[in-house]
């Protein structure tokens, strides 16, 4: 009589069963990481800015309206603000036109 090798049966190791187990595992990992991040990092409201595209952000608008610094200044005048938030790809860029607000950014703590 031979010993079973950790239930290595053809039904358990089928590609469909393995991929289903992998997908369930990934959803569990995502759920745990999502709930962990909610508790540890507070969400801060960002300054006003244009509505970005899903993945590339505001890069197409910036490339269409060259030079970029003029587009940013005209955008800030249109929004009537001294601080804005522009998403370029996966990065949030915060342009500032007020010296007082810039000093707050540049202070060391």
How confident is the model over 29-37, as a mean pLDDT?
A: 75
Residue 100 falls within a domain, yes or no? yes
pTM: 0.56
* 27 band by pLDDT with thresholds 50, 70 and 90: confident
Handedness of CA 72, 73, 77, 82 (dihedral sign): positive
pLDDT at 96: 93
Residue 78 falls within a domain, yes or no? yes
Strand partners, 96: 83
pLDDT at 17: 78
pLDDT single digits (tens) 44-88: 788 898 988 888 998 999 889 889 899 999 999 999 999 999 998
Number of independent structural domains in the chain: 1
Residue 68 falls within a domain, yes or no? yes
**For a pLDDT cut of 70, what percent of the chain falls above it?**
80
What gap in Å lies between CA 16 and CA 14, rounded to an integer? 5
Residue 68: give the domain boundaries.
Answer: 59-106
Residue 18 falls within a domain, yes or no? no
Residue 94 falls within a domain, yes or no? yes
């Amino acid at each position: 009589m031979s010993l079973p090798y950790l239930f290595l049966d053809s039904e358990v190791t089928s590609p469909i069963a393995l991929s289903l187990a992998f997908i369930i595992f990934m959803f569990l990992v995502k759920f745990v990481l999502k709930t962990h991040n909610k508790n540890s990092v507070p969400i801060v409201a960002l300054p006003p800015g244009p509505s970005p595209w899903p993945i590339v952000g505001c890069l197409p608008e910036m490339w269409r309206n060259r030079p970029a610094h003029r587009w940013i200044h005209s955008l800030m005048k249109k929004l009537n603000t001294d601080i804005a938030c522009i998403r370029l790809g996966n990065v949030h860029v915060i342009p500032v036109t007020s010296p007082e607000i810039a000093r707050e950014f540049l202070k060391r703590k």
